[in-house]
Amino acid sequence: MPNPSSQSAVAVNVQEIRDAGERLDGVIADIPVANARWLSELVGGPVYLIPENLQRAGSFKIRGAFNRLSKLTQEERDLGVVAASAGNHAQGVALAARMLGIRATVFMPQGATIPKVEATKGYGAEVEFAGSSIDEALVEARAFSDRTGAILIHPFDHQDIVAGQGTLGLEILEKIPDVKTVVVCTGGGGLLAGVALAIKSLNPEVTVIGVQAEGAAAYPASLAVGSPQKLDNMSTMADGIAVGLPGAIPFEIVKEHVDEIMTVSEDQLSSAALLLLERAKMVVEPAGAAATAAVMAWPKKFEAPVAVVLSGGNVDSLLLLRIIRHGMAASGRYMTVKVRVPDSPGNLAQVLTAVQQAHANIVEVDHNRMDPSLGVDEVEIDIQVETRGREHAMEVMESLNRQGFIVEEL
């Protein structure tokens, strides 16, 4: 459990966060919190969304980036800056550098989403691609810094970055003075550390919870042994929090001030992103939906009022389509069924009629006669169906079964 009264092992304190807030005055957008009635009903008390997806450059990252760059000396500014990022830190650094007149180079993993790449370039940064993860891109960014003298702007492991991100914690306390629980999306830990430090310094009774994607959750194992531990591999749609090694500075703050780290599945991430789109009318990337996913999955765990951080909204349109489909499938609103029938006239019509009788919407139908497991006179029909939820999906299956069809849900 955190000990709010103890001294942090790193030189970040609430006064530095306040100073960062003064530097950011007029730089970041003042975004109102949003009352999430649909989450409030689940939790049994007020839940507020903290929409940093609407922040300048599409995420909270401008806070830490501008604070860090604004403190560089003129000599350091003349050398330029270099960063590594999957996209949000890249845009934050690129925008901050443009505002301060500093040359910026950003290393991004191969496969970084097109909107994030183009936005980073649009803010004036030079983009280089390296590796398949933030960690691998960071190796190249460090090498570039060593070669050229450019100042490395780490995405999370620097006290000025943590202090900048911590300004969000001060805003949460100002806008929701009676807040009891704050839930924060977590990758390397810069945002979580800053928010936790700010909040616990001013109100140690508030519970602060970090949420990671279970396919890229470095903090639970690291906290268990008391030091940052590197993940051997990662697999998650939440590229913005896919960090294999916690930062040393954030880790010490998280260890001291954060009450709990939770993890969420890919299904929970996509379901949360889908519900945020449908109910809150907000486009949020999977990484930015992690905190919401935890509240949706375990609503009674969180004491209200609850502040839920939406950390970013930079998502590729094609990925958003896949997320929507994945989220619909996870919530039982999109299903694919496989039906094997004799290859004779009228059987396809009977299958489709059974689906129609269950009042489901057929999206796509595919015939397969080439599977070696099929008999000579058999055909396999794959049907993609939109439903109203899990109960309705079961009604579709039952309707097909009543007609004597052998059905398998994919």
Go through 147-175 and write b for each residue having 16 or more CB atoms within 10 A of its CB, e for each that does not. eeebbbbbbbbbbbbbbbbbbbbbbbbee
**Span of 42-46, 174-178, 240-244, 255-259 with lowest mean pLDDT:** 240-244
Question: pTM (2 decimals)?
Answer: 0.85
pLDDT in tens, 139-153: 999 999 999 999 999
Give the mean pLDDT of the chain. 91
Same domain, 23 and 121: no
Instruction: Give the integer Cα–Cα distance in Å for 42 and 294.
Output: 12
Measured in degrees and rounded to the nearest 5, phi and psi for residue 158 equal -155, 140
Q: Are residues 98 and 129 in the same domain?
A: yes
**Does residue 374 share a domain with residue 341?**
yes
Q: Are 305 and 180 in contact (CB under 8 A)?
A: yes
Query: Does residue 221 sit in the same domain as residue 299?
Result: yes
Q: Are residues 119 and 200 in the same domain?
A: no
Kindly report which listed range (12-21, 129-138, 264-273) carries the lowest average pLDDT score.
129-138
Asked if pLDDT for residue 316 goes beyond 90, the answer is no
| pLDDT, tens digit, 9 for 90 and up, residues 245-278 | 999 999 999 999 999 999 999 999 999 999 999 9
Flag whether pLDDT at 107 surpasses 50: yes
Pair (98, 172) in one structural domain: no
What are 37-83's pLDDT values in tens digits? 999 999 999 999 999 999 999 999 999 999 999 999 999 999 999 99
Tokens of 106: 């950003």
CATH (domain of 259): 3.40.50.1100
Q: Are residues 224 and 103 in the same domain?
A: no
**Domain span at 236:** 14-60+159-328
Pairing of strands 151-152, 306-310: unpaired
Indicate if 199 and 323 belong to the same structural domain.
yes
